[in-house]
């Protein structure tokens, strides 16, 4: 098991190496978060009604890139203006959702106000979020 908080534990029952299992479980949890964002918590992928595997795979690539952009934007935003935790200790809004909301504001400012840093919330530039420097 792994202690997550004062009263919270993650318990995984298996006969495999416990350290490896927790590592794999962490990867699985990341995938679950991605699919949650692709579905109801962000991009509403199910509303496209795409069922053919080939078309779905073509759609997943740009959506996955958009997820990474939104998540990284949420991380940067969290450093500038932290998302407050609720009473149970978890964030009131996911970093993905905070980033997606900010990217939406940037897009609306770009279309409505002619673009540029002037209309960018918190002085952050959406393209700078993607750089590694």
Instruction: Spell out the domain ranges in the chain.
Output: 2-130
The sign of the dihedral angle between the CA atoms of 132, 96, 11, 28 is negative
| Overall pTM > 0.75 | no
CA pair distance 95, 8, nearest whole angstrom? 21
pLDDT in tens, 4-35: 777 778 777 888 887 788 788 788 888 888 88
61-83 confidence digits (pLDDT tens): 888 889 889 999 999 888 888 87
Q: Which residues contact 66 (CB under 8 A, 6 or more apart)?
A: 43
């Amino acid at each position: 098991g792994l202690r997550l908080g004062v009263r919270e534990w993650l318990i995984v029952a298996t006969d495999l190496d416990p350290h490896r299992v927790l590592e794999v479980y962490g990867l699985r949890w990341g995938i679950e978060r991605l699919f949650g964002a692709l579905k109801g918590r962000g991009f509403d992928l199910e509303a496209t009604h795409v069922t053919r595997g080939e078309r779905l795979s073509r759609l997943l690539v740009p959506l996955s890139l958009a997820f990474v952009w939104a998540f990284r934007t949420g991380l940067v935003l969290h450093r500038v203006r932290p998302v407050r935790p609720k009473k149970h200790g978890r964030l009131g809004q996911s970093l993905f959702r905070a980033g997606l909301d900010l990217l939406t504001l940037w897009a609306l400012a770009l279309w409505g106000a002619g673009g540029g840093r002037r209309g960018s919330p918190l002085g952050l530039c959406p393209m700078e979020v993607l750089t590694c420097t």
